Structure 1
Amino acid sequence: MASASNRPISREASHMHSDTASAPTPVVTASAAPVWDPQQYLRHAGHRTRPFLDLLTRIPELPTTPARIADLGCGPGNVTALLADRWPQARITGFDLSPEMLRRATQDHAGPTPGGGHLDFGHADLADWHPEESYDLIVSNAALQWVPNHPGSFAAWITALRPGGTFAFQIPGNFTAPSHRMLADLCDAPRWRDRLAGHGARYVHILEPAEYLARFTELGCAVDVWETTYHQLLAGPDPVLDWVKGTALRPVLTELGDDKEAVDRFLAEYREALRAAYPPGPRGTVFPFRRIFAVARKEA
């Protein structure tokens, strides 16, 4: 989940830029990478995992057995482990910037896999990650939204693939939704601007599906790009706030740190806005979430 030095990268922090191509680019203040909470992130593991499962169904067979696989922005490793289900003999490494996420991933998933493969995890900043070996598959799930200029790395990552190898990712495209728009507006409000300006609007670098398609076509790949909006039914009180506490809110909570009074005031304001935008229904709260997918296969 974390993967860029001054930017968080988490499998959600949803981090997409849908109809804001003409919107002004916000000024983002430099800050430390956010502190991630694996337990909070995993509270919505079912909904967060589904897009990755959908991505897996579109990845073609890999050129080498046992396969060599890299998972960029592996977070707590629960999704990385699904790669071993699909390619049981593979040697798989999950990369992440967050020490908290890497500790959880290593604790829960590192080691030999039942199919004879192996899972391990390593520290990396996706903003400057350069493959040091050849891969059959490089995959990323809800992480690249935290990496400005990530399309600039595509050429190097494709080059690192073996002939017939695949680069595949899923990235949130939900950043013009009320949840994210209101977070950005609140961070930039006069009462919070001095501390939080830009912390809710770090995603304008997300491309549209057609732009990702063009990038991979230019690199000579056979490419499949699509988008899906999941209408997620969330349970419990203030479930949208609970969701973003695991992702998009991490930079804000990190910046406010141990200032409990400020944290409580900010969350109270944001909670009220979310309640109005996402009213609960008789069976839960509907939280639509758009995601963008790309599968690029290198020429064999």
Structure 2
Amino acid sequence: MVDWDAGQYLKFEDERTRPSLDLLRRVPLEAATNCVDLGCGPGNSTELITRRYPAARIVGLDNSPDMLAKARMRLPGLHFEEADIATWETSERFDLIFANAVLQWLPDHPALLKRLVSFLKEGGCLAVQMPNNLNEPTHRLMAQVAQDGPWAEKLSSAARSRETIGSFENYYGWLQQAGCSVDIWQTTYVHPLDGAASIVEWFKSTGLKPYIDPLSPEERAEFLRRYQVAVLEAYRAQGDGKVLLRFPRLFFVAQRR
């Protein structure tokens, strides 16, 4: 994919930060000395960790130069590194590995989680949140527009760019096998947005990227036009003119025994 656009992502900063805050609240560690924020993006989640553990050494990792640039501007006192989480290895051991809205892009979750848990200290926590919205109209319509347009062949693999999220039982079992106690839950957020165009703007920086990044500017404009028409049908306006974006997210906090 083309590099992530931090400015586009931050158009909905408050809504995107809320799951990070909810996840961090469930981390049972009273203190931490060494933390890493995987897929730190523009630093909004990293900032929450600094507030919770002000004495800790905190590192942010991301594969996007644009996101890292924004994170460094936001938190100039912290260390941020460009890294591919899919292959990331470290000799360090962490009290907290925080991964908000990033692992859904990576394959083979059983092996991935086992590797991440191995980087925890005894008693350390792996805290994860992943969007679980592939069955929502927003994502079903992306795939439909991709299949029905003149770009169908070009976008034939776009729907497979995100990992299908497993069940509660899957993650509980994988993390138990990795030697962790597990707290797992799901929350469906409901975001009142200013019409179908706002839903399109929301996903332009995330879910739509595998579909629109391969397209020419003309194709991209037409894809987004068709997608917005479809979204308008699926998300009817409320009495105040808002549309309600349902957004399920899966969470877990795994503590290494």
**TM-score interval w.r.t. the shorter chain?**
over 0.9
Equivalent residue runs for 1:150-229 within 5 Å: 150-189=109-148, 191-229=150-188
Give the AA of the match of 2:148: A
Once the two structures are aligned, what percentage of the paired residues are identical?
Answer: 39
1:87 corresponds in structure 2 to 53
Q: Distance in 2 between matches of 1:108 and 1:124?
A: 19
2:254 corresponds in structure 1 to 296
Q: Distance in 1 between matches of 2:116 and 2:30?
A: 16
Q: Distance in 1 between matches of 2:183 and 2:161?
A: 26
Q: Distance in 2 between matches of 1:131 and 1:175?
A: 32
Which of 98, 118, 142 pairs up with 2:64?
98
Q: CA deviation at 1:173?
A: 0.4
1:287 corresponds in structure 2 to 245
Which has the higher mean CA deviation after the structures are superposed, 284-293 or 191-200? 191-200
Q: Distance in 2 between matches of 1:55 and 1:163?
A: 20
Q: Distance in 2 between matches of 1:129 and 1:149?
A: 14
Give the AA of the match of 2:46: T
Q: Distance in 1 between matches of 2:196 and 2:130?
A: 27
Structure 1: give runs of 5+ residues left out of the alignment.
1-32, 112-118
Structure 2: give runs of 5+ residues left out of the alignment.
none
Higher helix share: 2
Tell whether the 8 Å contact from 1:186 to 1:192 is kept in structure 2 after alignment. Answer: no
Q: CA deviation at 1:236?
A: 5.3
| 1:266 aligned onto 2:223 | yes
Under a length normalisation based on structure 2, what TM-score does the superposition of the two structures give?
0.94
Q: Distance in 1 between matches of 2:202 and 2:18?
A: 15
Q: CA deviation at 1:63?
A: 6.2
2:83 corresponds in structure 1 to 124
Go from structure 1 to structure 2 and tell me whether the alpha carbon gap of 1:102 and 1:218 turns closer, same or farther (over 3 Å shift): same
Tell whether the 8 Å contact from 1:63 to 1:162 is kept in structure 2 after alignment. Answer: no
Q: How many residues of Structure 1 are paired with residues of Structure 2 in the alignment?
A: 256
Q: Compare relative contact order (CA 8 Å, sep 6+) and give the higher one, 1 or 2.
A: 1
Tell whether the 8 Å contact from 1:63 to 1:163 is kept in structure 2 after alignment. Answer: no
- Give CA deviations for 1:65-88 in whole Å, capped at 9, x if unaligned: xx1101111111111111000000
Under a length normalisation based on structure 1, what TM-score does the superposition of the two structures give?
0.81
Q: Distance in 1 between matches of 2:16 and 2:198?
A: 14
Tell whether the 8 Å contact from 2:196 to 2:232 is kept in structure 1 after alignment. Answer: no
Q: Distance in 2 between matches of 1:130 and 1:208?
A: 27
- Give CA deviations for 1:73-113 in whole Å, capped at 9, x if unaligned: 111111111100000011111111111111111122131xx
| 1:51 aligned onto 2:19 | yes
Q: Distance in 2 between matches of 1:271 and 1:95?
A: 33
- Give CA deviations for 1:204-231 in whole Å, capped at 9, x if unaligned: 4321222101111112211100101111
Q: Per the alignment, in what secondary structure is the counterpart of residue 251 of structure 1?
A: helix
Q: CA RMSD in A?
A: 1.5
Give the AA of the match of 1:79: S
Go from structure 1 to structure 2 and tell me whether the alpha carbon gap of 1:200 and 1:34 turns closer, same or farther (over 3 Å shift): farther
- Give CA deviations for 1:131-164 in whole Å, capped at 9, x if unaligned: 2311111010001111112331222221211111
